[in-house]
Amino acid sequence: MNRIFNFSAGPAVLPVPVLEEAQRNLVELPGVGMSVLEISHRSKTFEDMLARTEADVRTLGKVPANYKVLFLQGGASMQFSMVPLNLLTPGATADYIVTGAWAQKAVKEAQRVGTVNIAATTESDNFSRLPKPEEIELTPGAAYVHLTTNNTLFGTEWPSEPAVGDAPLVADTSSDMFSRPIDVSKYGLLYAGAQKNLGPSGVTLVIIREDLLARSQKSLHTMLNYAVHAENGSMYNTPPCFGIYLMGLVMKWGLAQGGLDAINAVNQRKADKLYAEIDRSGFYRGTADKAGRSRMNITFRLPSEDLEKVFVKESTAAGLDGLKGHRSVGGMRASIYNAFPEAGLDALVAFMQEFEKNNG
């Protein structure tokens, strides 16, 4: 195999055993004689596949029984609209904690629907940190409070949920879902585009507390209505069959790793390795505040933009792909999701030490 180390922010690296199983069974599912790409979504084979994927999501995430698990399309970006369309009841206010560009996009869609309160924002610090508890100004009786658990572009991640009172907490977990144990019962709704930690692009995981489904008005467009998707078990129309199949394989892989505690331990070790190198010398400089550093997207800069260009070029040539940071931060970003191999961190750290020796 000639697989390189893929630091892409998303779509991102998938577990090799998942790719291998999908490849083995792509032309012909065992005992079915057809590809998963060809079978009816109403077939017993696919229904079983969907049920197994949901069951494994529930097991891996310890999802309580009073939550629905939905597999939708339109990416996390569609959830920016669906969340307010379904949950922002007339006359109420939705609170948004803005810690990055994805949260800003979520706000933009919510503002089309109703009243939005920016409960906190760290934009004036270029989103290099999370708000402190005393900076968060919540609306009494808010319809919900929305946050982004991990800020893919800026490299910050909530170590744990902030206190938000009684309002349902709604979270965009696209870039750190199932990277650590998650207490679903603390949330009203969780959503994640699959293409970072859960599978390929094209399927979005939504976990919603059942009582919130009562807020979805019949007047909503059918495909934008959580209650319709829940009543139909994500099968109101043709679901993203291949994405669900692949997410199922990723869930199976996650369970085989030992579940979220085990995945968390590996992720911590991987992130610690890279942060230790970033903090070791003055040559590399982390861009995110240490109290809220991401373990999924690690952002750092070099002494000059010229050196950063050389770093990107030479690291790519060395088989370390996708390290160029987002333009809003500059520098480097190493995205090291669940499936990113630990050996890739060793390779990156060795490259960084060599690069500093040659250029420092």
| Catalytic position from the list 68, 102, 270, 324 | 102
Nearer to ligand PLP, 76 or 260 (CB): 76
Nearer to ligand PLP, 10 or 248 (CB): 10
Query: Binding pattern to ligand PLP, positions 160-179, x when CB under 6 A?
Result: ------------x-xx----
**Interface pick for ligand PLP out of 10, 61, 84, 322 (rule CB under 6 A):** 10
CA torsion, ordered 128, 179, 22, 68, to nearest 10 deg: -110
Nearer to ligand PLP, 193 or 331 (CB): 193
Return d(Cα 130, Cα 180) in angstroms, integer.
Answer: 19
- Spell out the alpha helix ranges (H) of 286-341: 305-317
**CB 175 to ligand PLP: min, Å:** 4
Active-site residue 172, yes or no?
yes
**CB 22 to ligand PLP: min, Å:** 20
- Residue 77 sits in the site that holds ligand PLP (CB under 6 A): yes
| Catalytic position from the list 56, 172, 253, 270 | 172
Q: Which helix (H) or strand (E) holds 343?
A: helix 342-359
Return d(Cα 310, Cα 169) in angstroms, integer.
Answer: 43
Return d(Cα 151, Cα 146) in angstroms, integer.
Answer: 13
Active-site residue 196, yes or no?
yes
The secondary structure of 108-149 as a DSSP string is HHHHHHSEEEEEEE-GGGTT-SPPPGGG--PPTT-SEEEEES
What angle is formed at CA 303 by the lines to CA 301 and CA 308, rounded to 5 degrees? 60
**CB 52 to ligand PLP: min, Å:** 23
**CB 76 to ligand PLP: min, Å:** 3
- Residue 148 sits in the site that holds ligand PLP (CB under 6 A): yes
- Residue 109 sits in the site that holds ligand PLP (CB under 6 A): no
- Residue 75 sits in the site that holds ligand PLP (CB under 6 A): yes
| Catalytic position from the list 68, 196, 252, 270 | 196
Nearer to ligand PLP, 45 or 201 (CB): 201
Nearer to ligand PLP, 271 or 302 (CB): 271
Nearest to 100 by CA among 340, 326, 343: 326
Active-site residue 102, yes or no?
yes
Which residues neighbour 17 within 8 Å (Cβ) at sequence distance 6 or greater?
253
Nearer to ligand PLP, 45 or 104 (CB): 104
Return d(Cα 278, Cα 160) in angstroms, integer.
Answer: 24
Nearest to 184 by CA among 152, 209, 157: 209
**Interface pick for ligand PLP out of 29, 39, 49, 76 (rule CB under 6 A):** 76
Return d(Cα 347, Cα 7) in angstroms, integer.
Answer: 12
Return d(Cα 39, Cα 46) in angstroms, integer.
Answer: 7
Return d(Cα 209, Cα 67) in angstroms, integer.
Answer: 4
Write out the binding residues for ligand PLP, residues 180-199 only, by CB under 6 A. 193
- Residue 316 sits in the site that holds ligand PLP (CB under 6 A): no
Return d(Cα 129, Cα 126) in angstroms, integer.
Answer: 8
Return d(Cα 43, Cα 202) in angstroms, integer.
Answer: 21
**CB 157 to ligand PLP: min, Å:** 10
Q: Which helix (H) or strand (E) holds 285?
A: strand 285-286
**CB 293 to ligand PLP: min, Å:** 16
The residues of the shown chain that bind ligand PLP, judged by CB under 6 A, are 10, 75-77, 102, 148, 152, 172, 174-175, 193
Active site residues: 102, 172, 196
